[in-house]
Structure 1
């Protein structure tokens, strides 16, 4: 999972649902009966092999073919002695970047912005904002430093993993470093790109980012179990996660991550 500890993450939580089409997701996601044979058995075998190969503690999956459900199930444990279930919520992480890219393209198609607009049009106080375009934020070619790799940021995150960082704080870390290259001439992943893209989308649309994504992505796709969370909290039932990132294997579910 990628860190997005900026307090503005649109990824929120995720539960199983149709994923495509206008039908609303069920309130509770339940395992498919079986599977004993056919496509569902083949999918389950692939998932079980992947779980073993990658050492995954748990797997939640749903596979559909058109409007037909092939398999919905969960493998492994959420915590010791607690089986993973398809209804469990988890952070959607970088999937939210796709959501923002879709919204950006929709707004461009509607003539409300251009991919080649300088970010300074929407965020006039941003350092280098006249050199960086919306396109560069979306395709990670801005040259902005990635605050997630900054040693000072990492030290503070380790000391207080539940701290809620503001957009201004993390953007300040990114823009406080020299650009890695002239914007548009290279590629490098930076979480700052997507914090800024979210802020720009709010300015372009006049809507808060969570409402914008709900209206343009989650509702049309029937993702009724995907919502925004501005805190580390994940609504029950929760798929727990664990990490050795701090040197000790520990519960990491509610770190301010996404």
Structure 2
């Protein structure tokens, strides 16, 4: 799916962008976790039963080929195939300045994976009978263009027509001039609301962070709690996601990799680890780790926290305009894999589940710089699934705006 950052969010997706200079990389072997530096951090997941030497070697080669070609400094790959085995690897570097190796025990910014948490929170309110998917957003938030006719369902399914605030040039300049600043939900929405809607409600698909920020406000108004508190109580705790958090600012627990981005005024590569993700809020601000993303990928794809009828609505995939990829309510399907990906300056993730084989794939990389117009996480997920599930190849792309 499209990336969370502002510049080039959806427009010009086919342009080839600058990539990081190649960096020396550690071999793709199972890496020990770095020692935790605060209470609550957890070691990385080791691979207790591999996929056999031949398949493991093919995966090692596939990961390294994409990582080097696309200029990915470091990558964490977790693949679990019940009945066949598992593959958990860290390769490359977590810090290009020091050469510190990437490890499987790092925390990472998860970008648009956050959308799965926000929409799950909304759907729990649906199950509680407190909201309805076909309620207009105007019943909860004032001042939304065409708010009387845009429904919560259309917001969650990326079919509202609301202009993506992260494509507004003034927002772009404000963020790039000071990526450490704090934005409120109301501030970012104002950038989007100054534009006419792109189309009528429900007419077509368009990926827009505006939709998710509005849903975050709905959760807050209806629950009477902050979005972070509600997600913690109703989503994270029941799912036993102890390594996942909704930061209030730029905080980033250790250990984490440094993240490399070209989302700068000059296009030069910068370390984005300490940039403030508040601008992405309900659309992309959360942090997680490998064990939690593995667990969450299965939970969100199977609907463990929701009533069956609500999960069925969630998984009603509508066309995105890109062959083979559908989008439901805060969740996508590509090649049979169900879940989401995420991209925020410096980091990309993929967390998906293949119900047909009960398989789970999690990727965590420390760059968001595109290679020949494509997200590096998509290239990596595609290469891995071509090896292990050739009948179910991941391709999380959608057409440019």
Q: Give the TM-score normalised by structure 1.
A: 0.81
Which secondary structure does the structure 1 equivalent of 2:114 belong to?
Answer: helix
Residues 122-161 of structure 1 correspond to what in structure 2 (within 5 A)?
122-161=140-179
Structure 1 residue 77, shift from structure 2 partner: 0.3
1:197 aligns with 2:212: no
> After alignment, is 223-232 or 29-38 more displaced?
29-38
RMSD between aligned residues: 2.6
Match of 2:354 in 1: none
Residues 1-258 of structure 1 correspond to what in structure 2 (within 5 A)?
2-3=4-5, 27-32=42-47, 37=53, 40-66=56-82, 70-80=86-96, 81-246=99-264, 247-257=267-277, 258=344
**Are the counterparts in 1 of residues 49 and 86 from structure 2 also a CA contact under 8 Å?**
no
Question: Which of the two has greater strand per residue?
Answer: 2
Structure 1 residue 102, shift from structure 2 partner: 2.2
Structure 1 residue 52, shift from structure 2 partner: 3.3
**Are the counterparts in 2 of residues 31 and 74 from structure 1 also a CA contact under 8 Å?**
no
Unmatched runs of 5 consecutive residues or more in structure 2: 7-39, 278-343, 345-401
**Are the counterparts in 1 of residues 145 and 197 from structure 2 also a CA contact under 8 Å?**
no
CA distance in 1, matches of 2:5, 2:276: 8
Which secondary structure does the structure 1 equivalent of 2:92 belong to?
Answer: strand
Structure 1 residue 101, shift from structure 2 partner: 2.1
Structure 1 residue 195, shift from structure 2 partner: 0.6
CA distance in 1, matches of 2:55, 2:243: 26
Query: C-alpha offsets along residues 35-75 of structure 1, whole Å, 9 cap, x if unaligned?
Result: 67266555444433432343311111222345997233211
Structure 1 residue 169, shift from structure 2 partner: 0.7
Structure 1 residue 220, shift from structure 2 partner: 3.0
CA distance in 1, matches of 2:202, 2:110: 28
* CA spacing shift, 1:98–1:112, aligned 2, 3 Å: same
Which fold has the larger relative contact order, with Cα–Cα distance below 8 Å and residues 6 or more apart in sequence?
1
CA distance in 2, matches of 1:38, 1:248: 40
* CA spacing shift, 1:50–1:117, aligned 2, 3 Å: same
**Are the counterparts in 1 of residues 106 and 254 from structure 2 also a CA contact under 8 Å?**
yes
Query: C-alpha offsets along residues 113-140 of structure 1, whole Å, 9 cap, x if unaligned?
Result: 1111001111244343212110111011
CA distance in 2, matches of 1:120, 1:179: 15
Q: Give the TM-score normalised by structure 2.
A: 0.54
CA distance in 2, matches of 1:50, 1:141: 33
> Size of the alignment, in residue pairs?
238
